Amino acid sequence: MSNIAYIGIGTNLGDRLANYRKAVAAIGEIRDTRVTRESSLYESEPHGRARNWFLNGVVEVATELEAKELLKELQKIEASMGRKRAAKGKRASVSRTIDLDILLFNNETIESRTLTVPHPELTNRRFVLLPLSELAPALKHPQVGETISALLVASPDDKKVTFYKP
């Protein structure tokens, strides 16, 4: 498979663990895509207007799909799991059954109306950097040039993120 992507997964509504596991299984069923590695799970304090703590993790996938095709497949999974899309600009501050974000796609920088890679909040969110650093600590952010582990250490995010044991 020619492309490597890192997908952030988050859920804070309903049975979070079941939602998380269902999402990982569904990602593994995307055509020409397989989950190659999965991080530990973490509980994170909510941002913005969200009230319930999130369950977060990251999966690494190998895929023949291009980034925009992968995004469409992830959005289908979100819709099938009851995800209601918030207005642009309010996405990070609301509760959701599932949230699937392409964090990194190869070493590419993508700027389009529908997709921005690396994820624009990647460097500011410990709940993403912590599980991503488990999978790829030495991977360099294609725009910033710092490793994921260095970005985690320098993260301005002061929200609590703790290891979650099911």
> Which of the residues 15, 34, 96, 125 is marked catalytic?
96
- What are the structure tokens assigned to 38, written together? 């999965």
What percentage of the chain carries pLDDT values higher than 70? 94
Question: Which of 105, 99, 122, 133 has the alpha carbon at shortest distance from 23?
Answer: 99
Q: How far apart are CA 104 and CA 95, in angstroms?
A: 23
Q: How many domains does the chain have?
A: 1
Q: Write the pLDDT tens digit of every residue in 93-151.
A: 677 899 999 999 999 999 999 999 999 999 999 999 999 999 999 999 999 999 999 99
Clarify whether 113 is annotated catalytic.
Answer: no
* Domain residue limits at 60: 3-164
> Which of the residues 51, 91, 101, 126 is marked catalytic?
101
What CATH number does residue 158 fall under?
3.30.70.560
> Which of the residues 16, 83, 125, 126 is marked catalytic?
83
Q: How far apart are CA 127 and CA 146, in angstroms?
A: 18
Q: Write the pLDDT tens digit of every residue in 34-54.
A: 999 999 999 999 877 778 899
Clarify whether 157 is annotated catalytic.
Answer: no
pTM of the model: 0.93
> What is the pLDDT at residue 44?
95
Clarify whether 32 is annotated catalytic.
Answer: no
Q: How far apart are CA 154 and CA 166, in angstroms?
A: 29
